[in-house]
Structure 1
Amino acid sequence: MEEPKLDTHSAVYYHWRVWELTGLMRPRGISRWAYRLYSVTINLVVTLLFPLSLLARLLFTTNLAGICENLTITITDIVANLKFANVYLVRSQLYEIRSLLRRMDDRARRVGDPEELAALRREVDIAQGSFRTFGWIFVFGTTLSCIRVIIRPDRELLYPAWFGLDWMHSTRNYVLINIYQLFGLAVQAIQNCASDSYPPAFLCLLTGHMRALELRVRRIGYRDARDREHFPGDYEVWQEQSYEQLIECIRDLRRVHRLRRIIQRILAVPCMAQFACSAAVQCTVAMHFLYMADDHDLTAMIISIVFFTAVTLEVFVICFFGDRMRTQSEALCDAFYACNWVDQLPKFKRELLFTLARTQRPSLIFAGNYIALSLETFEQVMRFTYSAFTLLLRAK
């Protein structure tokens, strides 16, 4: 059976479809003005109005229980919309990544090494799997909100929001508001799913191309059966061939570094926003549990737990994939040491030394250009959360 054509950009296929559906990326075959009208309409009705209704309800809430519940939802939604807006601001970089990945895929196909191709396809599968995982989390949260409305004896909205209408005594207003909230919640859910899962998807792409280049570099200078057939006893020709392979790999390394720089620009703001959102939501949920657990309903507590778990998982995922990419960059540096440089020409060794000098520092992606995406950072975040929870517990 023939292998499918390599396309690493398909790692963000689902994300691209979501961005087209929610008005950020115009699909082919749709006129510019028609898509612009659609984009403005859906983002005014949902992306802008939905968080404003949550924020208005928060401002009108006077009891601490309601503030804790509303604040958790409002912070999460506002930060999610800021991350969604950031996608619009970095559209040119997203198109640049797509173009760069096509060139890197062409290079991998020309080399044709099965292990390289398998490594790239594996990262694509992981990236698509992360999108589906986040999708199931949002489906679970949305379903839980609907169940809460159904089982409550009194009238309740899907999410606490203010609309300036009397929905408690008007069945028509109550139905219309819940229909709007359900529609807005569905749109926001797919927006958030794409916004939360595209950082690990891009980190997977970077890791995959680093892994492919590592395998490519490690083979330099080692003559396989085909080399012995083509260059039997011609030592100088083999050395020149090894030098050309090194130069090609150095060009590939420059493409990898360029891809890392673009991804850094794309992820700096949303990852920093995610760290801030996680800290705020974790502290708010802790207050909710410590001060309001005895006075509030069980379903609200479950929803708070879902939010707490979701924001913690989001931080863990980006830190895990960032740490994974750092480990792979170290392996790529080691690959230049592992190639057969001993038997090569002086110019080969000279280029290799220059390359090693440029690859000594492991590659990292930084949130806000300051906080490294690594498991050490996640550990520090959890320590901060535990310290804040302990402080609130002592204050109680």
Structure 2
Amino acid sequence: MVLPQIHTNDAFHYHWMVWKLTGIKAPNGFPQLPYTIYAISINLFVTILFPLTLIMNLFYTDGLQEVCENLTITITDTIANLKFLNVFFVRSKLLSIKDIVDKLDIRAQNEPGQRKVLQQSVQTARATFKMFWGLYSFGTFLSLCKIAIANDRSLLYPAWFPLDWRNSMGQYTIVLGYQLFGLIVQAIQDVANDSYPAAYLCILTGHLRALGLRVRKIGKNSNNLEANYSKLIACIKDHQIILELHVIIQGIISTACLAQFICSGLVQCTVGIYVLFIMGKNEISALILSGIFFLAVTLESFLICYFGHNLKQESEDLTNAIYDCNWTNQLPKFKRTLVFFMMRTHRHNVILAGNYIPVDFPTFLLIMKYSYSVFTLLVRLK
């Protein structure tokens, strides 16, 4: 029975849909010139102008409460756009991953256990995208509800516009329409920006786990010593491909991870100060929005560190997989090669944020600790 071809690149299907929609890469067969004009227009109109209206509003606020209300979304949106620009600069590397992953997929084509591992990785990667989609959709819906129940004219988010929208219905409609369009585009961008590091780590971990399953089986179902040696060489070559994939993913998500860690710390402190000391008792909608931002930035950092931890753990388990294979009855050249392979696996695969900070659970705990420390310092200075 011929099994259907497995494609772990499907894990990034939603991300590429967003990136094509927001100007990163033209869809296949689409004329380049019209798409370039479209990409420049939407990114000037939204990616640059939208956060600029939030930043400018900081200079026109009248109190600490308004500053905190605006600062939370300004920090989140500005760093999200920086992550989007990072995707633009590394888009060629993102495209190169497709061919590498396809090579690894072929190895697992007729192995039910390995297929299951890779399919689970694809499902998990897609689930992270859908989770952020739901979170940002709810935040957008809540902003619309805030406008609907407001007694006076208000905006979806505090922002500055060179229009008298408070006293002109026409200008208010223009400003609100722009904010709604910009918010939807930014939310779509943010879903992809926040979920793609976790998705790529998930697929990298899945292929490392599948390799471990292949290594464990060497020599257990075959007495052909030369064939077993060939299988070992094939596994070593697959490991080299995975290491190449690791280097590419490191270069792609390193900056994004560092930006996310910084964003998490800043937003957590801002939301904490705002909720505990500034927000009025009846501002339920503001409380919920602040909670969504707090949850979003914390969840983003947690997921990155979670999948980074899984990658490190799977890298360590590969050494155990080498021990588990039937190496005792193999050829001398098999054993010599196995020793070199084992020595290489002792250098565990770890993603570094900013090429310095390990993306792992201890880092997440450190972020939470530093955020709390800064928060308590601000409380004492208050």
TM-score using structure 2 length: 0.97
1:276-326 per-residue CA deviation (whole Å, 9 max, x = no partner) reads 111111111122123312377332222112111111111111011111111
1:231 match: none
* The 10-residue stretch of structure 1 (266-275 or 4-13) with the greater mean CA deviation from structure 2: 4-13
Deviation at 1:222, TM superposition (A): 0.9
1:64-99 per-residue CA deviation (whole Å, 9 max, x = no partner) reads 111111111101000000000100000111111011
1:318-351 per-residue CA deviation (whole Å, 9 max, x = no partner) reads 0111111111111112111111111111111111
Which amino acid is the alignment partner of residue 78 of structure 1? T
2:129 match: 131
Deviation at 1:2, TM superposition (A): 7.7
2:327 match: 341
Unaligned runs of 5+ in 2: none
Which amino acid is the alignment partner of residue 92 of structure 2? S
* The 10-residue stretch of structure 1 (375-384 or 140-149) with the greater mean CA deviation from structure 2: 375-384
2:140 match: 142
Is the contact made by 1:220 and 1:246 (CA closer than 8 Å) also made in structure 2?
Answer: yes
Is the contact made by 1:157 and 1:178 (CA closer than 8 Å) also made in structure 2?
Answer: yes
| C-alpha distance in structure 2 between counterparts of 1:395 and 1:48, whole Å | 35
Is the contact made by 2:23 and 2:39 (CA closer than 8 Å) also made in structure 1?
Answer: yes
Residue 372 in structure 1 maps to residue 363 in structure 2: no
| C-alpha distance in structure 2 between counterparts of 1:93 and 1:272, whole Å | 19
Of 175, 178, 183 in structure 2, the residue corresponding to residue 177 of structure 1 is 175
1:139-177 per-residue CA deviation (whole Å, 9 max, x = no partner) reads 011011111111110110001111100000100111111
| C-alpha distance in structure 2 between counterparts of 1:4 and 1:106, whole Å | 11
Is the contact made by 1:65 and 1:296 (CA closer than 8 Å) also made in structure 2?
Answer: no
Is the contact made by 1:290 and 1:393 (CA closer than 8 Å) also made in structure 2?
Answer: no
1:188 match: 186
Of 311, 320, 336 in structure 1, the residue corresponding to residue 297 of structure 2 is 311
2:309 match: 323
Deviation at 1:266, TM superposition (A): 0.4
1:239-290 per-residue CA deviation (whole Å, 9 max, x = no partner) reads 1111001000000000111111111000100000000111111111122123
Deviation at 1:107, TM superposition (A): 2.4
1:82-119 per-residue CA deviation (whole Å, 9 max, x = no partner) reads 0001000001111110111111112222xx11000110
Deviation at 1:395, TM superposition (A): 3.5
Q: Secondary structure at the match of 1:161?
A: coil
| C-alpha distance in structure 2 between counterparts of 1:3 and 1:38, whole Å | 41
Residue 118 in structure 1 maps to residue 116 in structure 2: yes
Of 239, 259, 263 in structure 2, the residue corresponding to residue 277 of structure 1 is 263
| C-alpha distance in structure 2 between counterparts of 1:382 and 1:243, whole Å | 48
Of 220, 227, 232 in structure 2, the residue corresponding to residue 241 of structure 1 is 227
Residue 80 in structure 1 maps to residue 80 in structure 2: yes
Pairing of 1:195-210 with structure 2 (within 5 A)? 195-210=193-208
Which amino acid is the alignment partner of residue 371 of structure 1? I
Residue 255 in structure 1 maps to residue 241 in structure 2: yes
2:369 match: 383
* The 10-residue stretch of structure 1 (359-368 or 6-15) with the greater mean CA deviation from structure 2: 359-368
Structure 1 pair 249–2 and aligned structure 2 pair: CA distance change class (3 A): closer
Q: Secondary structure at the match of 2:108?
A: helix
RMSD: 1.4
User: Paired residues, what number?
Assistant: 382
2:44 match: 44
Is the contact made by 2:15 and 2:196 (CA closer than 8 Å) also made in structure 1?
Answer: yes
1:19 match: 19
Is the contact made by 2:72 and 2:267 (CA closer than 8 Å) also made in structure 1?
Answer: yes
